[in-house]
Amino acid sequence: MRYRTIPNTDLSLSEIGFGCGGNAGLMVRGARVEQIRVIARALDHGVNYFDLAPDYGEGQAETNLGIALKEIGHRPLLNSKVEIRECDLGDIGQHVVNSTEASLSRLGVDYIDILQIHNGPITPPPSLQGRDYKQLSTEDYLRPGGAVEGIARLREAGKVRAAGFICRGDDATDVKLLLETGIFSLINVPYTLLNPTAGMPKPADLQVQPNYGNVITHAMSKGIGTAIYSPLAGGYLTDETIAGEQHPLARNKDLQAAAAKRLRMIAREFSFLKDELSDSLAKAAFRFVLGHPGVTTVLGGFSSLEQLDELALVSDMPPLPEDKVNRLKTLWSSNFATLS
């Protein structure tokens, strides 16, 4: 396993991180014995970074990871998040503190290494309703009593070492504004073969939504790290999904719907990336992501020991060769014209 340091910090993250989100299923719906087995193997592989959030199984992922790490007797680098909803807008700073305290309790630790706001920044203010937390106004990040104030209180108390937030797309202007503050060290953003716009300017004819505005490159220029979530595009960039299969722990997905069928067709177009090193589409997808110098870690949403063993090996592989990258650029620039 290789490691990449978040600039301006002493945090060195494994190139392959462990994503504990509900999409993969293991840390929310898996059996306790299997959770412990897979986490122990991840640590043996050199994985030292675990990405969590209270929203993953309504706190269940944090609880399960805390139990597993206590059983194993190891303390890796931990990330968790805060979801800010409509009911929290009156005192966001206090909610950030309260939510983090609850995460610490579930994990059974005194501090977390990185705390991120799970809402992506946006202007003008979004219309938050009910349980929605996808976005938060940039003003609500920065105003008195806002998210940044809550983060500052936690850092002063020694309960958080570094901070960050999530990029949701079509938000590059606001992302860059927050990065200019010097407060944040790590952003989370998707960067995939299906939508590479987080790591490059969008090709003019590529029809993808949302546009992530090349924020990885901008973050790198500011000395800020990037963690890539959903590198397999929700599982579409796998040989299993192309074949119409799905892991039993993963969230249900209608693979026969029209949009899903097209995504599977596009995913097949990337089969040329497989070679003697990347003998699966998933490995090739991870190699593509790690080829960007601004990427700090790629978060694998592991549903099984076999997936972990497969993808942990990618850290030792070189980036995709130039001829294959050029072929990718042709596919993007043509908006996958071969499927027309």
CATH code at 241? Answer: 3.20.20.100
The reported pLDDT for the residue numbered 315 is 97
Which residue carries 């998707």 as its tokens?
A: 190
> Does the pTM of the predicted model rise above 0.75?
yes
Query: 131 lies in which domain range?
Result: 3-339
**Helices vs. strands in the chain: H and E counts, helices first:** 13, 12
Q: Is 90 exceeded by the pLDDT of residue 121?
A: yes
* Neighbour-count burial of 268, counting CB atoms closer than 10 A to its CB (0-12 exposed, 13-18 middle, 19+ buried): middle
The reported pLDDT for the residue numbered 340 is 46
More confident call, 220 vs 255 = 220
**How far is the C-alpha of 175 from the C-alpha of 215, rounded, in Å?**
8
Quote the number of domains for the chain.
Answer: 1
Side chain identity, residue 338: T
Closest CA to 54 of 130, 118, 113, 111: 118
Q: Is 90 exceeded by the pLDDT of residue 259?
A: no
Closest CA to 187 of 179, 196, 195: 179
215-251 pLDDT, tens digit each:
999 999 999 999 999 999 988 899 888 887 765 545 5
Residues near 64 by Cβ (< 8 Å), separated by ≥ 6? 27, 28, 32, 35, 57
